[in-house]
Structure 1
Amino acid sequence: MLILYALMIMPIVRAFDYSSGDDASASLTAVEGFAPMWAWAIFFYLGALVLAYGVRARRHLIVYLGHSILAVTYSALAVGILAASLTRPWLDGVRGASVLILPTLMHWLIWWRTGPAPIKAGEAVTVEKVEGPR
């Protein structure tokens, strides 16, 4: 649950940062060419709020939707920053893209693992096996 809460708080902090000012770093120029920073903030706020509501209401599909929004938003942001850094000397800005890798992968992993519908209790198969040398 601690990881899930962190995955809800991180996009809110990022959205607040993007919505609080116009002084974006040089690594965000390609991202700003696609959409202004306040628009990115809306997607981060939306994803975090949908995810938080889904967790609070215990609605599997809404949690799945929240992870979907955040996974796509983080992915687009990471690709935009990485693409801009590849054209600069010394890969200036690659650190900004690398920071986004972990939350991006976590949202995609949880999105893939949970699926749009929960696993039914009768359909789950548990296999426990301990093997060693014979």
Structure 2
Amino acid sequence: MRTNLTVAAIAAGILLTLTACGGSTTEDKPATPATTAAATPTLDAAEVTQECIDAVAATVGARPDDFDPENDSDPKPDACKSLSEDEYMDAYMDGLTEANKQGLADLQDQIDEATEGQ
């Protein structure tokens, strides 16, 4: 008799444990809309890096009035804030290269305009 009672108690305990763990169904949970992730577009790493390069190239030479080249560094554009320090330095150097290319192209245009009338 004691064995049957013990087996019945263990079986009841297991049954209650199983029903407690598996009792909740997906019908009880409200569905979360999947549009939240799709509604907020995210940029991939290459696009973020390119935006940082463009921002650096656009701000070269646009330093604050109190800029001290001995102690200060160029201000970090907002487009670059999400990049790691290594990624930012790579993008910064690429941005400087882009700014230099644009500066050379502008200088060549001025030279061409000045020599047209001669």
Structure number with the bigger relative contact order (C-alpha 8 A, sep ≥ 6) is 2
Q: Which has the higher helix share?
A: 1
TM-score by length of 2: 0.30
Q: TM-score, normalised by structure 1?
A: 0.27
Q: Which has the larger radius of gyration?
A: 2
